């Protein structure tokens, strides 16, 4: 599936562009990232630790760098794709045939992420109603981003992607109540409770440690330190390693210190029709 693999390589520049746009405003971070998390406990954890999460997203995706290379590479790849698969000689309904393939789904899912619905109070964008993700309307974006996105929307690929969403995507039935909802939403899934618990625990530990350090002899302070450390390891760290929350922390650790194997290519070479069909067969 060479064509699908080439289209999938567009995911890195498209994701970087999308993240840079959303993270440029705090209200968008809350509305289009955090509020879209359905399970309350994870939404609360991300809300409380969003400062850390945002810095990690910036670091992992290198969002502080210039986005012009991503825009130029994406534009070049889409122009190559349009020249080979959306010319006047193309007679198929989809990219390679009259049947929907993985390449069609990959192209629509990736490019659709940055088309942004063109909606306002008096205007509705039909294709956006079929999108399952939430994103800001086009008119709220910065002018330079809006101009680039409008160019992609008006291109043959942009029009094809929006048509594919309107005609081929099925109706969404929304979210159904799960039998695990209660177990997935413990008492600390409330943001206020979790924040108060964290702050009160840290404050208590600081006050107790500072009091012992000032009033008690040095050997009592040292002994108290080791006892407290042992109790934390036994009653907190040990069960935490086996819990779902512990797995989440290990994923964070790998995200922060693990080896990054992603490759960000500025330009993507699109295989020709003959190459795509021969490799597919």
Question: Under a CB-based contact definition with an 8 Å cutoff, are residues 268 and 9 in contact?
Answer: yes
d(CA 17, CA 253): 25
Q: What is the mean predicted confidence (pLDDT) over 92-113?
A: 89
| Per-residue pLDDT at 269 | 59
* Helix, strand, coil percentages, rounded to 5, for the chain: 65, 0, 30
The SS3 assignment for 120 reads strand
Higher confidence at residue 231 or residue 122? Answer: 231
- This prediction has a pTM of 0.71
The two tokens of residue 190 are 């409330």
Residue 265: per-residue pLDDT = 46
Backbone φ, ψ for residue 120 (5° rounding): -150, -170
pLDDT band at residue 74 under the 50/70/90 scheme: very high
Q: What is the mean pLDDT of residues 175-197?
A: 68
Task: Label residue 122 by pLDDT band (50, 70, 90).
Answer: low
Which residues make Cβ contacts (< 8 Å) with residue 242, sequence separation at least 6?
Answer: none
| pLDDT per residue as tens digits for the range 10-35 | 899 999 999 999 999 999 999 998 98
What pLDDT shows up at residue 21? 94
Q: What is the DSSP letter of 234?
A: I
Q: Report the distance separating Cα 154 and Cα 145, nearest Å.
A: 14
Higher pLDDT, 222 or 51: 51
Instruction: Give the rounded percent of residues in the chain with a pLDDT score beyond 90.
Output: 20
The answer to whether 110 and 14 have CB atoms below 8 angstroms apart is yes
Q: Of 32-46, 146-160, 205-219, 263-277, which gets the smallest average pLDDT? A: 263-277
pLDDT tens sequence across 145-174? 999 999 999 999 999 998 888 888 766 555
The residue among 232, 234, 191, 228 whose CA lies nearest residue 213 is 228
């Amino acid at each position: 599936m060479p064509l699908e693999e080439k289209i999938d390589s567009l995911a890195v520049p498209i994701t970087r562009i999308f993240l840079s746009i959303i993270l440029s405003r705090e209200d968008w971070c809350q509305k289009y990232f955090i509020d879209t998390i359905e399970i309350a406990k994870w939404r609360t954890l991300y809300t409380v630790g969003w400062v850390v999460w945002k810095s990690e997203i910036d670091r992992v995706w290198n969002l502080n760098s210039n986005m012009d290379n991503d825009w130029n590479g994406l534009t070049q790849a889409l122009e190559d794709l349009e020249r080979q698969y959306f010319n006047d000689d193309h007679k198929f309904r989809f990219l390679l045939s009259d049947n929907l393939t993985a390449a069609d789904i990959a192209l629509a899912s990736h490019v659709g992420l940055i088309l942004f619905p063109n909606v306002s109070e008096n205007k509705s964008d039909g294709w956006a109603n079929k999108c399952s993700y939430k994103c800001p309307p086009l008119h709220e974006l910065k002018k330079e981003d809006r101009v680039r996105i409008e160019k992609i929307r008006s291109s043959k690929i942009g029009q094809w992607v929006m048509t594919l969403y309107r005609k081929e995507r099925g109706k969404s039935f929304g979210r159904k109540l799960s039998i695990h909802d209660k177990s997935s939403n413990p008492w600390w899934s409330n943001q206020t409770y979790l924040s108060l618990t964290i702050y009160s625990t840290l404050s208590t530990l600081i006050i107790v440690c500072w009091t012992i350090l000032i009033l008690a002899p040095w050997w009592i302070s040292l002994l108290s330190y080791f006892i407290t450390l042992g109790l934390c390891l036994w009653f907190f760290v040990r069960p935490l390693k086996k819990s779902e929350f512990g797995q989440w922390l290990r994923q964070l650790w790998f995200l922060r210190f693990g080896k990054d194997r992603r490759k960000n290519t500025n330009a993507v070479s699109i295989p020709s029709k003959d190459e795509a069909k021969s490799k597919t067969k």
